[in-house]
């Protein structure tokens, strides 16, 4: 029974939401699965990924093969790195503490990158809003300026008309 770590689609049309599952490769895409490992929501920016890293590593060590997309997600969350470090511990190249320290350092670095992206997106959004506000102000000022001379001309015409009458 070959096991695959793959995505199981949920959500409505046009708004996909995926579960990351370990399933028999012969099972249907959205069918029976052995264990739910997490969730993936590509609708947010950056994408929201909730993953049980230890459960994924357990399945990988037992021979489960991830699909291409699942492999990218596992790599993004560090499950493949943790499996690699666990292999180093088994071979004696690292101690458990060293492997855990390397993994935690990687997690902190990754969290900083994700936070920087989120801040960049929020800053870009704020800049776009400020630009739109400036453009709207310019349009309003132009509209006011276009209407203001008409009023002044009418007043000047009325004064000349009243001066002519006298």
pLDDT tens column, 131-155: 999 999 998 988 888 887 654 566 6
pLDDT (average), residues 121-127: 88
- Whether residue 158 is predicted with pLDDT greater than 70 in this model: the reply is no
Alpha helical stretches, state H, the chain: 53-61, 68-77, 79-91, 96-165
Pairing of strands 35-41, 48-51: antiparallel
Cα distance between residue 146 and residue 151, in whole Å:
10
**Tell me, what's the pLDDT at 161?**
65
- Cα 115 to Cα 3, 22, 39, 108, 165, distances in angstroms: 34, 29, 20, 10, 75
SS3 97: helix
- Whether residue 163 is predicted with pLDDT greater than 90 in this model: the reply is no
DSSP 8-state assignment for residue 2: -
Has this prediction a pTM greater than 0.85?
no
Handedness of CA 130, 133, 139, 142 (dihedral sign): negative
**Tell me, what's the pLDDT at 24?**
93
pLDDT in tens, 52-62: 999 999 999 99
SS3 152: helix
**Tell me, what's the pLDDT at 114?**
87
Task: State the average pLDDT for the chain.
Answer: 88
**Tell me, what's the pLDDT at 144?**
86
pLDDT in tens, 68-97: 999 999 999 999 999 999 999 989 888 889
Place of tokens 């096991």: 3
Number of residues assigned to the chain: 166
pLDDT in tens, 30-52: 899 999 999 999 998 888 999 99
Q: Are 29 and 48 in contact (CB under 8 A)?
A: no
């Amino acid at each position: 029974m070959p096991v695959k770590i793959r995505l199981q689609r949920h959500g409505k049309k046009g708004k996909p939401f995926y579960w990351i599952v370990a399933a028999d490769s012969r099972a249907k895409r959205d069918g029976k699965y052995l264990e739910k490992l997490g969730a993936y929501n590509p609708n947010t920016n950056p994408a929201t990924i909730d993953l049980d890293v230890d459960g994924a590593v357990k399945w990988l060590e037992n021979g489960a093969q991830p699909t291409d997309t699942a492999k990218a997600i596992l790599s993004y969350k560090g499950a493949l790195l943790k499996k690699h470090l666990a292999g180093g511990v088994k071979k004696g190249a690292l101690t458990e503490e060293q492997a855990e320290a390397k993994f935690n350092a990687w997690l902190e670095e990754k969290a900083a990158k994700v936070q920087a992206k989120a801040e960049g997106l929020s800053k870009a959004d704020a800049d776009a809003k400020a630009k739109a506000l400036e453009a709207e102000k310019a349009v309003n000022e132009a509209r006011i300026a276009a209407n203001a001379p008409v009023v002044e001309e009418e007043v000047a015409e009325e004064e000349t008309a009243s001066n002519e009458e006298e």
